[in-house]
Amino acid sequence: MAFMARFIHGDKPILPKEFPIPGRFMVHQCYTEHLHGPGTHVGIDRARHLIQDMLQGHYDVLKQDSETGKETRYTLGVLWANKKGEIKLDLIPHSDFKSLEGRDWRTSNPDTRILVSNLGTLMSPGDIERICEDTWMFVSEEAKLRRGTRNLQEFIEHPAYLGAIEPSTHEWKTLPLYTEVI
């Protein structure tokens, strides 16, 4: 399996007030395959709206780490569906950076946590059963890329190349999460 689309949020200077945290969000192929059958590539606009709705619904939880109180600087996420057709969004917010630019940006070892939204309801940490390897590969490649960028803006504007799991449809490799500032 691989990713079918990537949404980028924050590559524009103004972020929407409904979700002002930048990030990147992948749509896994199982999102459409478990809902519409193998080999289908439908529902990209619906995926965009689902991600927007879930992010906005969880903004209060995502904006800072509840344990450390540190502000979330960016979020990575993967939209997928299980074999029962339940739509989920794995969220990996990143916080606790020394700086958002320069050497301290590149050498920071941010805190991350895993949140899973099951159609808008956050699952408790004890109920999170699994994260697929494709998601870990995505997060790992993004982490390697971040350490080579000069600042948060450069990182958000230039997503990591994911090799074999990269979206194959050229138009879906870098879609805006919001098509206009709302």
And the tokens for 18? Answer: 């409904």
Determine the average pLDDT of the residues in 72-77: 95
Q: How far apart are CA 154 and CA 148, in angstroms?
A: 10
- What does the radius of gyration of the chain's CA atoms come to, in whole angstroms? 15
Which pLDDT score is estimated for 39?
56
Q: How far apart are CA 9 and CA 21, in angstroms?
A: 8
Question: Tens digit of pLDDT for each residue in 86-98?
Answer: 889 999 999 988 8
Which pLDDT score is estimated for 181?
45
CA 126-137-18 angle, 5° bins: 65
Question: In terms of Cα–Cα distance, which of 164, 165, 145 is closest to 156?
Answer: 145
Question: Tens digit of pLDDT for each residue in 13-72?
Answer: 667 777 889 999 999 988 877 666 665 556 788 889 899 999 999 999 999 888 888 999
Which pLDDT score is estimated for 73?
93
Percent of the chain at pLDDT exceeding 90:
46
Which pLDDT score is estimated for 16?
74
Residue 182's pLDDT band, with cuts at 50, 70 and 90, is: very low
Question: Tens digit of pLDDT for each residue in 130-173?
Answer: 789 999 999 999 999 999 999 999 999 999 999 999 998 888 88
Percentages helix, strand, coil for the chain (3-state, rounded to 5) are: 35, 25, 40
The phi-psi region of residue 163 (left if phi > 0; otherwise alpha if psi is between -120 and 50; otherwise beta) is left
Which pLDDT score is estimated for 10?
85
And the tokens for 81? Answer: 């569906």
